[in-house]
């Protein structure tokens, strides 16, 4: 048995749950820099595409167009989120260093 088999399974957190958790925390820095409306709209568009694909309601050409637009919009959102996460980690690390340094 390897290490992965011995670990208890963690429940998967869906994208909507993650967005709700971010909103629930109400961190002013995140609220000011993250466009929650764009993120929610992207999530809904993605969900609609997935359901339409599963139901076979769309033509391949329409799926291609929608997925291309989602990918383009998603890249912008991911860049914004990744940049914000890096800044927050850097600030948290600086705060930890300053709080543990002797006076």
pLDDT tens figures, 1-60? 555 566 666 776 677 777 777 777 666 766 666 777 888 889 899 999 999 889 888 899
b vs e for 81-91, b when ≥16 Cβ sit within 10 Å of the residue's Cβ?
A: beeeeeeeeee
- For residue range 77-90, what is the model confidence (pLDDT) as tens digits? 888 877 877 877 88
Q: Is the model more confident about 91 or about 31?
A: 91
**Span 84-103, mean pLDDT?**
76
CB 29 within 8 A of CB 88: yes
Q: Is the model more confident about 75 or about 80?
A: 75
Q: Which two tokens stand for residue 79?
A: 């860049």
């Amino acid at each position: 048995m390897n290490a992965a088999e011995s670990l208890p399974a963690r429940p998967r957190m869906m994208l909507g749950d993650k967005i709700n958790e971010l909103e629930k925390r109400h961190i002013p820095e995140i609220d000011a820099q993250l466009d929650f409306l764009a993120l929610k709209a992207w999530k809904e568009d993605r969900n609609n595409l997935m359901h339409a694909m599963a139901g076979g309601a769309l033509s391949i050409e329409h799926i291609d167009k929608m997925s291309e637009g989602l990918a383009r919009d998603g890249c912008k959102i991911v860049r914004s989120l990744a940049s914000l996460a890096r800044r927050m980690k850097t600030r948290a690390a600086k705060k930890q260093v300053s709080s543990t340094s002797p006076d």
